[in-house]
Amino acid sequence: MSYHLPVLLKESVDALLEVKGEVWVDVTFGGGGHTREILRRMGQGRLLAFDQDADALFNLPDDERLIFVNENFRFLKRFLRFYDAIPADGILADLGVSSWQIDEPGKGFSTRFDAPADMRMDRRSTLTAAMVIAGYAEEELARIFREYGELANSRQIAARIVKHRQQEPIETTGKLREVLLPLSPRGAENKFLAQVFQALRIEVNQELEALKDLLRQSAEVLRPGGRLVVISYHSLEDRLVKNFMKTGTFDGEPVKDFYGNLLAPFRPVNKKPMEATDEEIARNPRARSAKLRIAEKL
C-alpha cells in the first residue's frame, strides 16, 4: 500500500511539541507520517491517533506509546475520556484526504479513475456518492455543489444529473465525469471535476459538521496553554478553523461577556497561516493549497 508524503511535517510538529506535555493527539492518522514524527520527537507520554478508515490499521507503527482509535475525530472527547487522556497537551489535525486514499481507485475519490461512486472514508457508514446522486432532490444537489464545491453553475449541474438519472443511473465516477464534462469551463476541466468530487465527498462524509465537532471538543479537552494545530486544504475548512481560533464561533462573530471581554477559548499563535515552501510543493504538489494554523488554549 502506498502512503502519502505528510504536508508541512516539520512546521506542524514543531508547533505541536513547542509546549511541554505527555498527552498528544493526532486526529488524522492517514498515512501515519505526522504520527511517526510525533512519536520520534515526543519522548515519554502517550499519543492517541484517530482514523475512521480501517485500512489505516495496516500502517500502524509498533510503539507502546501509541493508542489507535478507529473512529471519526468527531468522537474526540468520548475516546479521550475513555482512555483517561483529558486534559490533552496538544492536538494535530491534517484535514486533507490522504494521497493513498485518492490513489486507491476503488474508493472513488479520484477524478482519474473509473470506479464505483463511493467516496466513503468509513466503509461502515451507509451513504455513498452514488446514493446522493440517485436520491437527492435537485434543489438539495444544487445546494451541495454551491456550498461545498463553490461552483457557480451548481443549478445546471444538479439539473443535468436529475435529467440523466431519469434515463439511466449514474453509479460510477466515469459516468459522472461523462455526464458533467459538457458543463465545465473550457481549459478548466480538471478543476471543475475536482470541485464536483469535493462537494460529493464532503456531503457523504459530513466533513464540515465533523470538523465543527472537533473544534468545539478540542476547546473542552485541551489544558490551558495546550496547542491546537490544524492543516486545511480548501477555503471552507480554513474559514471554520480561522474563525473558531479567533472568536470561538464559526461565523467569525465575536461573543462578549457583560464587560465586553471576548469569550473565545483560543488565542491564535500565527495571525497568517503558514504555507508550504516552493521546494515542498515541487516535491509534493498536493501541499500547494495547505494552510497551517496554530492556536493556544486560554
Domain final residue pick, 186, 205, 224: 205
> Could you tell me if residue 177 is left (phi over 0), alpha (psi between -120 and 50 degrees) or otherwise beta?
alpha
Q: How many structural domains is the chain composed of? A: 2
105 within some domain: no
pLDDT given for residue 55 in this prediction? 86
Average pLDDT over residues 200-209: 97
Neighbouring CB atoms inside 10 A of 143's CB total 17
Statement to judge: residues 181 and 170 lie in one domain: yes
Neighbouring CB atoms inside 10 A of 270's CB total 13
Statement to judge: residues 217 and 196 lie in one domain: no
Average pLDDT over residues 29-51: 96
190 within some domain: yes
pLDDT given for residue 100 in this prediction? 55
Domain with 139 in it? 110-205
pLDDT given for residue 109 in this prediction? 73
**First-residue to last-residue Cα distance in the chain:** 41
**Domain with 189 in it: what CATH number?**
1.10.150.170
Q: Which has the closest alpha carbon to 30: 8, 44, 11, 49?
A: 49
Tell me the whole-structure pTM to 2 decimals.
Answer: 0.93
**Domain with 254 in it: what CATH number?**
3.40.50.150
Statement to judge: residues 229 and 174 lie in one domain: no
Statement to judge: residues 116 and 201 lie in one domain: yes
Statement to judge: residues 86 and 117 lie in one domain: no
Residue 268 has pLDDT above 80, yes or no: yes
Average pLDDT over residues 67-71: 97
- CA angle, 81 as apex, 232 and 291 as ends, to 5°? 10
167 within some domain: yes
In the numeric block, the cell 484526504 is attached to 97
pLDDT given for residue 281 in this prediction? 96
Domain final residue pick, 165, 189, 205: 205
pLDDT given for residue 112 in this prediction? 81
Cβ neighbors of 135 (< 8 A, separation 6 or more) are none
Statement to judge: residues 213 and 183 lie in one domain: no
Residue 157 near residue 141, CB atoms below 8 Å? yes
Statement to judge: residues 19 and 96 lie in one domain: yes
Output the average pLDDT for the chain. 94
Residue 11 has pLDDT above 80, yes or no: yes
Statement to judge: residues 62 and 50 lie in one domain: yes
Give me the helices (H) in the chain, please: 9-17, 33-42, 76-82, 99-102, 129-135, 138-147, 154-165, 173-180, 189-205, 207-221, 235-247, 278-283
Residue 15 has pLDDT above 80, yes or no: yes
Domain final residue pick, 163, 189, 205: 205
Residue 102 near residue 115, CB atoms below 8 Å? no
pLDDT given for residue 110 in this prediction? 80
Strand partners for 295? 228, 268
Statement to judge: residues 94 and 211 lie in one domain: yes
1 within some domain: no
205 — pLDDT class (breaks 50, 70, 90)? very high
Return phi, psi of residue 84, to 5°: 50, 50
Statement to judge: residues 214 and 293 lie in one domain: yes
CA 146 to chain centre: 19
pLDDT given for residue 111 in this prediction? 81
CA distances from 262 to 35, 118, 227, 242 (A): 34, 43, 19, 16
> Could you tell me if residue 107 is left (phi over 0), alpha (psi between -120 and 50 degrees) or otherwise beta?
alpha
pLDDT given for residue 101 in this prediction? 59
2 — pLDDT class (breaks 50, 70, 90)? very low
